[in-house]
Amino acid sequence: MGFVSKELLAKHNVIEDVFDYKDLDIDEKILKIYSYFENSFLELYGSYADLFKIKDYCFYIKDNNKCNAFALTRKGYNIIGITNGYPILLSQKLDEKYFRSIVLAGIGNDEPLQKAYIDLYEDREFVFDKFILDCSIKFTFNHEFQHIMQFSSSKLKRNDFLLQENWAEDNFDIKLHAWEFDADRMASYEVLKYVFRTHANFKVKSDEKLKCLLYVGCASMIITNCLFYFGVMNQLGPQLSVRKLEFYEKKFSHPHPLVRCINIMEYYFDSITTDLPRLKMDSQELLNNTLVITKLYFNMLIPTQNVIT
């Protein structure tokens, strides 16, 4: 069997706490957010499950207000889920108003790249915040999908495996840290492919425009990670209070967010260099642009504190 419905799995107690937003009397805007995330994940899971011959797969939204995503294998079913907090919290954090100054990231680059930022900003068919949200969703989906692949190739052959994305104070396990590293790398590569496809669909293409999109795509992954690092992802605002996660190495369920950021950027850069040698990507330029975009965003999100210096 290919796709399995959440209703069937809930009926057989494979999954619990299924959140069905369609049953709720909620306003149109929230409804749209839920259906956008649900459709994105369903579409992605459908195509990747096909491609990698994953059978008996299911996606569902779990009733939980925190921002989280997870991969689960239970009774032979391959399940990817998000919490109902995730679409609301993430779309609120990546709101259009926080990216109004993104074009300023062009300053400091040479003129053709500056112009590429402006062209994208003025392009009516391209929306920065939507692109950043889509890159973030792609990243999270592909990270979870890689866990599904890890489960199916694992020699452990455990029947019940759950990996959640929200940082948790679980016991440290080096193998699980390695799985997280691997999932982040595969996910960053899928974001790279998505950026490349987005550029290919532009009527007017240029190397500078592609570079600009690559920087913004990278910033999307770093911003998503930093929202957890600064402890603001699960806050609804308007005043966010920053609680930076102390640095650690051999602790907890996931590698420290900053270590994950470095891993993601390293792999992303190596993949660009290998797959797009013509671009002559400069690692310093990638780092500078990613950090400037991230800084411009956090200055708007948390104007009371300078979180990235």
Residues that bind Zn ion (CB under 5 A): 163, 180, 183
Q: How far is the CB of 225 from Zn ion (least distance, A)?
A: 12
Q: How far is the CB of 147 from Zn ion (least distance, A)?
A: 6
Query: Is residue 60 within 8 Å of residue 77, measured between CB atoms?
Result: no
Q: How far is the CB of 164 from Zn ion (least distance, A)?
A: 8
* Residue 6 or 254 having the CB closest to Zn ion: 254
Query: Is residue 106 within 8 Å of residue 117, measured between CB atoms?
Result: yes
Q: How far is the CB of 56 from Zn ion (least distance, A)?
A: 21
* Residue 68 or 290 having the CB closest to Zn ion: 68
b/e string for 145-177 if b means 16 or more Cβ within 10 A? bbbbbbbeeeeeeeeebebbbbbeeeeeeeebb
* Residue 143 or 211 having the CB closest to Zn ion: 143
- Token pair listed for 212: 């600009």
CA distances from 128 to 97, 113, 277 (A): 11, 16, 26
* Residue 163 or 286 having the CB closest to Zn ion: 163
Q: Which of 211, 8, 188, 198 is nearest to 105 (CA)?
A: 211
Q: How far is the CB of 62 from Zn ion (least distance, A)?
A: 16
* Residue 143 or 209 having the CB closest to Zn ion: 143
Region for residue 56 given its phi and psi (left: phi exceeds 0; alpha: psi -120 to 50; beta: otherwise): left
